[in-house]
Structures are given as C-alpha cells and as structure tokens.
Amino acid sequence: MGEPFSPLHIHQGAVLSGRTPGVFITADYPYYRDDARNWADRLGSLKRMGISTITVYIPWRHHQVDPAAAPDFTGRTQPNRDVLGFLRLCADLGLSVIAKPGPFIHAEVNYGGLPDWVCPLNNPKIEALLNAGGEAETWAGSRAAADGAAVEQWPLPAPFSPEFLRLTVDWMRRVGEEVIRPLSAPDGPIVALQIANEGIYSNGQHAPWAYDYSPSALALFRQFLADQYRAIANLNRLYGGEYPDWSAVPAPRRWDAGAAPQRYVDWGEFSAAYMDKIFRAWAEPLESSLPVFINQNPPLGAPYGLDAWLSRVEPERWGRVEYGFTNWVGDVSADESAFHRYVLTAKRTPGPNLEENWGFAALYAPAYADASTSFYQTLVILNSGATGFNVYTGVATDFPDRNLEIVPKLPYPDVAPVTAQGEWTPKAEIVRWLAQFFNLYGAEFLACRTLKPAAWGYSLAQARLAAWPPAGDSGAPQHGLHLGEFQRQMRALRLDYGLANLETASVDELLAYPFLYAAGGPYMPAAAQRNLAGYARRGGRLTLIGALPELDENNQPCTLLREARETLRAVPAVDAAGQLADLPRTEVVKGEADLWLRSHPQRDLHFLTVLIPAEGQTSVHLSLLLNGRRHSLELTAAPSAGAILRLENGRVTAAILKGSNAYLGCAVAPGCTFDGQRIGLAEPGDFLLLDGQTASLPSDLAAEKDAR
C-alpha cells in the first residue's frame, strides 16, 4: 500500500478536505458481478476518470451461500468472493472505499442480496414484514416463477424478528471483524461505511401503511407509545379511547376522518424512530468508528408521496448516521414530478448523492443511453443541496452468476461509462470533465450560494397526518399538495427556495427568508404555530395556505396564529407566482431553461448552471443580475443537457458546454457569449474550458445511434 488513507471527515453533510468542504465524487463498482481478473483494469479506468473513492456493496448472499459455513471473504470458494483482495487492489491504486455491507442491498441482486435462508418461507422462525392489511411485503427471490421469465416474489423478513436480527447481527459482526476493521483507514482504504439501502428494503419512501405491522414491530410501537405518554390515561385522553393497557392500543391501518389526529402523527413518528432503530441495530455490530451513511431514495409520485417521505425521513434522529440519497426517480429533464421530488431529496438535509444513474437505460429509461441525461441530473442535484455525486455504476460487467441473478440482464449495467470489455466511452469522458471541474472548483462551488428569497415551512406532524387521507378528500389536510404546487411555481419563476422545519427552527432562522409559505388546516403543533407567529410579528412575510389552525398536538385550542392574524396572509391556494414575480433575478429573455446562480459572499465569483429541459430549444438568452449590474449571456446547448460556467471578475473562466444528445438526435455546436466574450466550438460536440485549457468531444451522432 502507498500513502495512508484518512477516514472521511464530514461537516454539515459535506466531506472535508482539510478544513474545507469539497464536492465529493465517487463511483460504484460491483466487483461481485465481475471476473476477478478484470478488477485491476477496471479500477484503473475509474481512477483515470478522475475518481478517487469507490463505493461497493458486499452482498451477504454472495459471500455466505451456506448458513452452516463461515462467509468467504478470500475467494476460497469462488475467485470473485475475494473482497479482501479487491480492497487491497483499491489501496494499491490509491483509491479509497466506502464499504456497503447491507444486509439488504437491492442492486438488482436476487432477494436484494439477502441469502435464501433468511426468507420466512425457508425459515419459519423468522417473521415476515407485514403491511396494514396483514399481507407480507415481498421482493424478487432467487427462483424463476412458473413462466420462466419472472422471478418468484418472496416475503421480506421483519427487521426486528428475533431470529432474523440474530442472523443479521452475526453477518455484520463477521464482515466488520474480517473485512472492515482490518482494512479501515489509515492502514487500509475503507474511509466510510453505508448500511441498509434506501430506507430498509429500498422502501424508505413508501406509505405509512406499507410497513411494519409484524408482531415484533407492533411490540416496539407500543413501547414507543409507553415512552411517549408514560401513563395509559394520558393516551386515552388524547385518543378519546378507553384502552386498558398498552397492548390493547391498535396501530392505525386506514384513514378515519373521525379519529384523533394524534393516532396518525404517532404512527408516523414511530416509523421515523423505527428506521433510526434499525440503522443503529445494523451499524453497531460492525464496531467501527468510521462515518456511516444511509442512501435514502426520493419520494414516490403518488398523491401521498411527499408527506409519506417526510414522515419517515428524519435525519435529525440518526445521531452519527450521515444523510445520503439516491436518484432512481425518473428522467428529471423530461418529468416535472421527478424533477421536484428529486430536488426535495437534496433540500431536506445536505449530503452526498450516493447513486446517480450513469449506466442504466434498458432497466430504467432509454434517455440514459446518452451522457446528457446524467449530466443534467448531476448538476440539478448539486445545485439543490447535494454535496457530492456518485457514478452508478462506473463500469459494466458481463459475468453471470445465478446465485446473484436468476434472470440475467447483461451487461450490467447496459450503458456504463466503461463497457464490460473495458472500453472507454464518451460518457467516461464527460465524467472525467465533471471530476476535473469539481476537483478544481468544488470548494468554491460549495462556498457560493444561490439567493433564496422564500422557503416552505413544513411541520412533520402535519405531513404525518396528511399522508393518510385518500386523494380528493378536500376536507383532509393538504400539506403535500400545497408543497408540490409551491415547488412548481418557484421553478416557473426560476427562483431557488429553502425548506424549514417549523417545529424545530428558531424564529431567527426563519427570518433568513423574506417570504415564508406554510400549509394551514385545523391542526398544527403549538411549536410550529409559535414560530410562525413570531416570524410574522417580526416582519417576515408569512403566507398560510388554507384555514388558520384551531388545535395543537394535545388536541387543545391553540390561537397563536389567530392572534397574529393581522400580520400574516391567509389564502386558499399557493400564490407565490403572483407575490414573487417582481423580485430581481436572472431572466430568460429567449428559450426555456432551469437556472441556478451561485454567488460568493466576498468575491466577484459566481457559478451559473443553465439546463435545458427535454422539450426545450437549443438556444437560450439570459439577462443576469450580478452585483447589481445586468449582463447578457447567450448559450447554445443540447436539450436534456446544458452548461455550467464559472464567472469571475466579469469573465467566463471555466465551463462545460454539452452540445450533443444522441438519444434526442440533437447535435449542435456548443457556444456561450457573455458580455461579448465568446467560448465554444464551431462543430457539434461538447466543450470544456478548464484552468486556461480547452478540450472538445466531437459528436458522432450516427455512430452513437448505431450503438443504441
């Protein structure tokens, strides 16, 4: 091994280089899907791409096929199980590693990476994860269904089923003892860990009634209530019930407009606490002092999606577990709902994007065949609050293993930056450009900030209640509906915005935003009402959508906002478009684009990102407001792509211009004119200006179409 590695140091969601936050760039490599003889070459390709940190799952089912045998981490039973050898190769190349031991990983692996022998079908001692209807939540197993084309659906194990928890703890203890601790920094390349996957079983965004109603989880729920209320009489007063003891209290399973709101709020809070408890239960057996990430997935597009997501995802509970997230929401350049749900994922809490789709077209959406879609999404999420991005996956593999995939979809993934044969693609060059740009300017990029004139104030209690009513129930809480409309209007205005937790933010923190919007309704916790009233009385422009609240979390009359009625606006629907339309901002004179202008607090330094949606035109003309002066910028770029520019002292000093999108059949000569300064190409392709040097990637549209 070469120089010693350093464990990641993270501050406010950003990875530090020394004491300075930088954009954290990683790439995933599924070694377990590849021939071990390819490992060194593919890792070398990732390093050449500008990647310095590899993320890698360690699949339980791959390393411990037989429950009676110890896990194989050395390759004694199959060469590509030699994860210790893989990690030493990373170290030899100077590549640090985020190790991801599951226990559930998804990754298109049979049964999500769990071994067959922890399935409740195969081990009756293990409870199944149950939904509100008492049905088992399932995942694709490892046997083909009767039609031979699909895979059998198997029940997932309840995480706190005692037998499953025992087996899980044993796996995590072994992988910690034999892999992670021996190869942790500074002596080894492992600098951080990730546990679980997108919640628990890639279901962190699911509805509150989706899980967990297993006996072990309901026992935890009742203990949660006992800790909250102390005496059953306190709960009965709030619930309007006559339960003799905690064991008699039912979990909510369906919406009842006449039930006490706190029933649903309590279940939502328990769901968040339940995730935190699982993260701790799975991380502790590793016995590692390294930072631990989770990779939360974005909200669902269902009507309850935003509220259900907020209900479960509460990073403030997680202690030393760091917030990270994934993409898998759809093509954000073409799908408005996907755009807003993805942005919300980054705005909730700062953290790195741990899985951006750079490799999957056949499995997800054909637009990912071209680098433009991933380029677009990477820049969307970095401007929305992400502190880094991951290339998932950096290389393709073509090494079938029926233990991992009963119905192979090879190569895996189909359009990775580096092919299964080790060939470098135009995608790899775009990744290299992004890595060069953010390795050089990432600290400046994070130090620069967008102007956020407005924020959405959310109450977790309101979201937990609003997730339950069926769509179209106009008398029910409408938090997520109003939040979605606020997002749409702010995008149309091309204004950035913040998110503020009304139950925990101080009035001073809220006053950082001149305008604040929040959902009203009959119910709102007293702390949220107090903060909103204080914000309005101290000069903040508060807009409350819907009725003024009448009750607090104790089901008691609460008149804090009614008493502040003269200092706020109460309206029936979100009206940000009218209220904020006259604010000074960057304007689109011609064309259609999403814009982010980030400015440094002390220097004449700015980063401008201009992204053209899938249906947009290739030419955009902007009027920029920088330091009180108007500037003109004209850009030519491909749809579902665009540009990122570094502007310093009135000049474009660095840029990536994406002029080619083979998927859309578009290739233009990318160019930018800023106050008379012209950069770009005379021929179709992509253009890089970096550190005084230029590079180009010609467009060979016919060849790219043939490749598709």
Q: Which CATH superfamily is domain 454-580 in?
A: Class I glutamine amidotransferase (GATase) domain (3.40.50.880)
Three-class SS of 277-343: HHHHHHHHHHCCCCCEECCECCCCCCCCHHHHHHHHCCHHHCCCEECCEECCCCCCCCCHHHHHHHH
Gyration radius (Cα) of the chain, Å: 26
Average pLDDT of span 32-39 = 98
Give the residue among 93, 89, 71, 152 at the shortest CA–CA distance from 119. 152
- Distance, in Å, from the CA atom of 385 to the CA atom of 561, rounded to the nearest integer, reads 31
Q: At 177, phi and psi to the nearest 5? A: -70, -40
| pLDDT greater than 70 at residue 202 | yes
- 376 neighbors 332 (Cβ within 8 angstroms): yes
Share of the chain above pLDDT 70, in %: 98
| pLDDT greater than 60 at residue 518 | yes
Using pLDDT thresholds of 50, 70 and 90, give the confidence band for residue 2. Answer: low
Residues in contact with 394: Cβ distance below 8 Å, sequence separation at least 6, in sequence order: 27, 28, 29, 42, 45, 46, 49, 51, 358, 359, 416, 417, 418, 431
Average pLDDT of span 507-530 = 96
Using pLDDT thresholds of 50, 70 and 90, give the confidence band for residue 550. Answer: confident
Average pLDDT of span 83-92 = 98
| pLDDT greater than 80 at residue 706 | no
| pLDDT greater than 90 at residue 621 | yes
Q: Apex CA 308: angle with CA 275 and CA 158, to 5°?
A: 35
- 621 neighbors 589 (Cβ within 8 angstroms): yes
Average pLDDT of span 432-460 = 97
Structure confidence at residue 199 (pLDDT): 94
| Beta-ladder partners of 391 | 27, 356
User: pLDDT tens, 411-432?
Assistant: 999 999 999 999 999 999 999 9
User: pLDDT tens, 170-179?
Assistant: 999 999 999 9
Using pLDDT thresholds of 50, 70 and 90, give the confidence band for residue 701. Answer: low
| pLDDT greater than 90 at residue 703 | no
- Distance, in Å, from the CA atom of 97 to the CA atom of 193, rounded to the nearest integer, reads 8
- 166 neighbors 252 (Cβ within 8 angstroms): no
Structure confidence at residue 473 (pLDDT): 79
Give me the CATH code for the 10-124+166-207+278-446 domain, please. 3.20.20.80
| pLDDT greater than 70 at residue 704 | no
User: pLDDT tens, 474-515?
Assistant: 777 889 999 999 999 999 999 999 999 999 999 999 999 999
| pLDDT greater than 80 at residue 681 | yes
Using pLDDT thresholds of 50, 70 and 90, give the confidence band for residue 555. Answer: confident
Where exactly are the structural domains of the chain? 10-124+166-207+278-446, 454-580, 587-707
- 280 neighbors 174 (Cβ within 8 angstroms): no
Average pLDDT of span 511-522 = 96
Q: Is 144 exposed, middle or buried (CB count within 10 Å of its CB: 0-12, 13-18, 19+)?
A: middle
Tell me the one-letter amino acid at 170.
D
| pLDDT greater than 80 at residue 472 | no
The torsion angle over the Cα atoms of residues 516, 521, 522 and 525, rounded to 10 degrees, is: -40
